[in-house]
Amino acid sequence: MNNKIKLAVAMLFMASINSTWAKSCNEVRAGIDMGSGTTKIQVSEVNVCTNTLGKVLFSQDKPIGFNEDLAESANNQLSPAIQQQGIEALKQLVEQARKYHPTRITGVATAVFRTAANGPEVIKQFNRQAHVSLRVISQAQEAELGFISAKAALNDPAIKDTDLLVWDIGGGSMQMTTYNLNNGRETAEIYQGKLASVSLKDLVIEVLMNKDLKQVNSPNPVAPLADEILRLVNFYARTHVNPAIMQATKNKRVIGIGGVHGYSIKDQLKPINNQYSIADLQRVAKDKVNLSDAQLTGEYRATDVTNLLLVEGFMQALNISTVTLVKANLIQGILLQ
């Protein structure tokens, strides 16, 4: 066998090895983020050798008002009606995901399922009926998972954990997560808050408007109360956010993720280069505080306007100048785990 033939055989052999290695490293996975107001699913390619995300094959979400249902409950339990709505939506999402033949379908359930007395049992039933693997996670776990997801979505190896502060706002909880170096080791600093999209909306209706949540589902228009809502949020942020996080907002890049940032804020502001400031929030809120639900659009109109005030109040209290929006929730972290 001459040298040219030997070289050709060697090259074919190496190509075969590389192809086999690539196939063994690539895996299709599905992840589910079952939140307080929205359930999301994503199917993606995952390189298990480098622990990085590849092509997104399928992504969809459905609004399911778990948090609103619990707010109307007399016994702190999710009702049979919302459970039925939840399992039907979950089955539909999973049926679509299975078309891509994922090797696993795993996910997490967050705030409302931690709060509801029957939350863990509801998730067990969902697992049995939809043939998936969901687990109720703590708020600290939610925060760390959100950080992993945000960094994965940024897809920049040069970015260090200590460069970022990830701000995740959902329906029933809010997390801010960063990492600091202590004696050469990275340590997580986490803010775990209860004031979020639906919880603020409910507080406005029940406390500031003195109305029954069982009868009133939206505070719009909020113009007469806008200044008071802002002051309340500002005070809450200043008195609840821990000093380590307050310090981090001064010198770290703030990344906004989760349903409020990814849908409500982004759709309302339409920010250039996915960055927004307090001025952007104020510009949009100026008109929207005067609108009723009938004048607003979208499936989340009941919380959209108070979301603007929620984010503005926190930015004022913590001196956050700009926020960079990243298309991430908890799913990216779920897929990589």
Residue carrying the six token digits 């999710």: 78
Give the residue-averaged pLDDT of 102-116: 96
The model's pTM = 0.84
Over 70: is that where the pLDDT of 303 sits? yes
pLDDT of 184 reads 83
Say which range, 8-17, 129-138, 176-185, has the weakest mean pLDDT.
Answer: 8-17
DSSP state of 262: I
Task: Quickly list H helices, the chain.
Answer: 3-25, 66-71, 80-98, 111-115, 119-130, 139-154, 197-203, 226-240, 243-251, 258-259, 266-269, 278-288, 301-318, 331-336
pLDDT of 20 reads 46
| Other residues' Cβ atoms within 10 Å of the Cβ of residue 208 | 15
Tell me the domains of the chain and their CATH numbers: 26-137 (3.30.420.40), 156-332 (3.30.420.150)
pLDDT of 291 reads 98
Structural tokens at position 119? 């939350």
For residue range 148-180, list pLDDT tens digits in order. Answer: 999 999 989 899 999 999 999 998 899 999 999
Q: Who has greater pLDDT, 328 or 210?
A: 210
Over 80: is that where the pLDDT of 333 sits? yes
Structural tokens at position 98? 């299975």
10 Å CB burial of residue 185 (0-12, 13-18, 19+) is: exposed
